[in-house]
Amino acid sequence: MTRAPAPRPGRAGPDHAAMLRVDQAGEYGAARIYAGQLAVLGGRHAMAREIEHMAAQEDRHLNHFNAMMARRQVRPTLLQPFWHVAGFALGAASAIIGPEAAMACTAAVETEIDRHYSEQLDALGDTDAELSDAVVDFQAEEVEHRNAALAAGAERAPAYPLLSGIVRMGCRAAIALSTRI
């Protein structure tokens, strides 16, 4: 005869504060990556327009999560000062390699953010409509960013598989760290 598993005390459901924290960290990092790319490419480059458009959308995502965190009294990740520097550095470094490497970086980052948001939506179920609605809304734009980056020649970047793999691994680590810290 099978018995129902005992309820685990303190594990009533998904940790919404941690979810909001990691989402805000991701949007913060994305905004810094685009800022780094634009600092290198400047307004003169043909791809700057595309990146400026993505950056404006990241600002909307970030502002929304900032407001939700203030309302819910959720603190940002302690790693935010690090993401401030690391995100900008990643964006700038990729753009220095070239515009296609910048797009490869974007495609890799957005692939991981898309995956993260899908996993989070699964975990949330119907427990937090406000957070789920925001994630669905923003995820659609992250997918647009990834597709725009691929269309702009991300895969023509030098050492694309290596570059993409490194950035994706970094994003996974950043997501794991920002959930815990």
* Binding residues vs Fe ion (CB under 5 A): 27, 30, 58, 61, 142, 145
Nearest distance from C-beta of residue 2 to Fe ion, angstroms: 44
Residue among 16 and 53 whose Cβ is closer to Fe ion: 53
Nearest distance from C-beta of residue 109 to Fe ion, angstroms: 7
Q: DSSP character for 154?
A: G
* 151, HSE (Cβ side, Cα atoms, 13 Å): 8
Residue among 32 and 61 whose Cβ is closer to Fe ion: 61
Residue among 39 and 158 whose Cβ is closer to Fe ion: 39
Residue among 61 and 157 whose Cβ is closer to Fe ion: 61
* Alpha helices by DSSP H, 128-159: 129-151
Nearest distance from C-beta of residue 40 to Fe ion, angstroms: 18
CA 89-159-157 angle, to 5 degrees, is 70
CA 76-77-82 angle, to 5 degrees, is 120
Nearest distance from C-beta of residue 144 to Fe ion, angstroms: 8
Nearest distance from C-beta of residue 103 to Fe ion, angstroms: 13
Cβ atoms 84, 26 nearer than 8 A:
no
Question: Distance between CA 167 and CA 173 in Å, rounded?
Answer: 10
Residue among 128 and 142 whose Cβ is closer to Fe ion: 142
Helix (H) or strand (E) holding 71: helix 48-72
CA 98 to chain centre: 22
